[in-house]
Amino acid sequence: MLDRFQAWVAGFDACVADDDWQRLVPMLAEDVVYMVTGAPFGCELRGRDAVLAGFARSIANFDRRFDERRWFGVGWRAVGNCLAGRAMGVYRRAGAPVLSFSAQEQLHLRDDGRIALISDVYDLAEFDNQLAMAWLAQHGAGLDPSYG
């Protein structure tokens, strides 16, 4: 499971760098579902093409508009065919304070190793996410983290 997780993270980061989202195709089930809850940009995307298009949209309209983007995982563990942990993001943009936020994330894999479900849950009761929402209200003009 650790190898699969590391391959996913490395593959996703490479896609962010070069916008070649097709490299993730072998890792995703054709009917994969991506769910984001707890944030204004929540979504439910169904199917590999929709998920990859959603990733590309969010990265293009949000992440790439920063001078620096760093994501890292904390507390990840495997339970059966599920990988779960916290994904934390830190963004820097000239003229604005640092933006950081986190989500609980789960990756559910099928027996063939392909990801069938990705779930990101943002908890707006957590201070880091409250501060992120305030940051977006004050400094986020023109930024769109949505996936659909």
pLDDT in tens, 57-72: 999 999 999 999 999 9
Say if 110 falls within a structural domain: yes
Q: Which phi and psi angles does 80 have, rounded to 5°? A: 60, -130
Residue 111 covered by a domain: yes
- Tell me the pLDDT band of 1, cut-offs 50, 70 and 90: confident
pLDDT at position 4, please?
Answer: 87
What are the tens digits of pLDDT across the range 108-136? 999 999 999 999 999 999 999 999 999 99
Question: What CATH number did the domain enclosing 130 receive?
Answer: 3.10.450.50
pLDDT at 148: 87
Strands (E), 2-148: 28-37, 43-46, 68-79, 82-92, 99-109, 115-121
Average pLDDT over residues 8-36: 97
> In Å, what is the CA distance from 96 to each residue of 14, 45, 129, 141?
26, 31, 17, 12
Please, are residues 134 and 44 in contact by the beta-carbon 8 Å criterion?
no
Number of domains in the chain: 1
Residue 146 lies in a domain: no
Whether the pTM exceeds 0.85: the reply is: yes
Domain assignment of residue 55, given as a range:
2-139
